[in-house]
Amino acid sequence: MLRALGRRRQPCRAGSAVRRLVCSLILVAIVNASTQPNSSSSGADSNAGADQKVAFDALMDLVGEDLKRVNQAILDRMHSPIALIPQLAGHIIAAGGKRLRPLLTLGAAKLVGYEGERHIQLAACIEFLHTATLLHDDVVDESDKRRGRDTANAVWGNKPSVLVGDFLFARAFELMVEDGSLEVMGILARASAVISEGEIHQLLTANNIETTEADYLEVVGAKTAALFAAATRIGGVAADRPREELDALDAYGRNLGIAFQIADDFLDYSAREADLGKSIGDDFRDGKLTLPVIHAIAAANDEERAFWTRVLEEQAFSDPHGDADFTHAMTLLSKHGSLEATVRRAHDFAEAARRSLDMFPDSPVKTVLTEVVDFSVARAY
């Protein structure tokens, strides 16, 4: 998920104050993702540029200080006497990522007026769970690159990647136990099981052109949206908010997560990315059944169906890298309006995410959370 956001990062351009704020949110997160705990402020200035300075300061007023503390907690708790663990974990945690999921915990906590300290450790915990998943994903996908950097499995091999993933998962549970809320632990234990189920379900839909949109949404809801939903919900649990607010935060995270993943899957077929020289078509070449092709397959005639069977199920490409087949796939997506349909679905979920915030009074953090939704799907234009 974040992989795609990262590898296809759009430059932040000056625009409305709100747009600048959102760009800054992302920039702050990137800057704070550094493993150098004291580099964030100066780094932010030099990277963000002067015209983001005002919005940057505004955002720091909101969650920037908290995010710094989250990053410090991550660094502190990556520690192990086995030096390879912080090395490898640091590699992937430093590799960027926008700390989007921990930011959601911080944002949700702030939205409901939380004043305590627990959200810092819980946000770090969310990032550990996410990082553990990424490490195992890269092993499972045999990925060499993540966000333009070599993956941990490419550098150290699969073995330490599997085991450090396990370590981070265990460490996440240690952080939860320290927090001490059975409700939070229940949410995160359940989310962890659901994420694994979603990943396994995804394996089973790969290379299967019978996969439906309903299957796809089930996979995405589990492998991606479950952690988004947990991240926002626990922000509310920390603040001891009533059930309806927790459900609203959950719905916000869940719908945002689905919109985010749909946009991500769209981008793997985005012609504009090709203009930018980024790699596209990875999902196609891996035979992954994502929404764009699911839509096109549903509308396919017999000849087209035979094409999808050959390329996605049999992975029998007509040239070594499947370039000609990918071009033909793009033609079919265009013929059936599949990319537009994909964007529409992303917008449906984005709208649902926004609506979930209706019950909360307007505030700067509500504006930012709304803009995170906009940004997540705006990537898909």
Positions that interact with a second copy (CB under 8 A): 80-82, 84-85, 132-133, 136, 139-140, 158-160, 162-167, 169-171, 173-174, 176-177, 180, 182, 185-186, 189-190, 192-193, 195-197, 199-201, 203-204
Burial class (CB in 10 A: 0-12, 13-18, 19+), 50: exposed
Q: Which is nearer to a second copy, 11 or 81 (CB)?
A: 81
CB 133 within 8 A of CB 123: no
Q: Which is nearer to a second copy, 55 or 220 (CB)?
A: 220
Q: Between vectors from CA 225 to CA 219 and to CA 229, what angle results, nearest 5°?
A: 145
HEC profile for 273-304? HHHCCCCCCHHHHHCCCCHHHHHHHHCCCHHH
- Minimum Å gap between C-beta 252 and a second copy is 23
Q: Which is nearer to a second copy, 81 or 277 (CB)?
A: 81
**Which residues touch 243 (CB under 8 Å, ≥6 apart)?**
none
Q: Which is nearer to a second copy, 177 or 359 (CB)?
A: 177
The half-sphere exposure of 165 on its side-chain side, counting CA atoms within 13 A, is 22
- Minimum Å gap between C-beta 89 and a second copy is 11
Burial class (CB in 10 A: 0-12, 13-18, 19+), 206: middle
3-state SS assignment for residue 4: helix
- Minimum Å gap between C-beta 169 and a second copy is 6
Q: Which is nearer to a second copy, 84 or 324 (CB)?
A: 84
Q: Which is nearer to a second copy, 107 or 221 (CB)?
A: 221
Q: Between vectors from CA 138 to CA 135 and to CA 142, what angle results, nearest 5°?
A: 145
- Minimum Å gap between C-beta 88 and a second copy is 9
150 Rama class: left (phi>0) / alpha (psi -120 to 50) / beta: beta
Q: Which is nearer to a second copy, 72 or 80 (CB)?
A: 80
Q: Point out which residues pair with 145 in neighbouring strands.
A: 150
- Minimum Å gap between C-beta 195 and a second copy is 8
Residue-level length of the chain: 381
- Minimum Å gap between C-beta 257 and a second copy is 18
Task: Round to whole Å and give the CA distance between 192 and 172.
Answer: 11
- Minimum Å gap between C-beta 109 and a second copy is 21
Task: Round to whole Å and give the CA distance between 293 and 270.
Answer: 13
Q: Which is nearer to a second copy, 102 or 160 (CB)?
A: 160
Q: Which residue has the tokens 């702030």?
A: 110
Question: What tokens does 180 get?
Answer: 């001490």
- Minimum Å gap between C-beta 242 and a second copy is 22
Q: Which is nearer to a second copy, 41 or 196 (CB)?
A: 196
Question: What tokens does 120 get?
Answer: 């810092």
- Minimum Å gap between C-beta 249 and a second copy is 20
Residue 168 backbone phi and psi in degrees, to 5: -65, -35
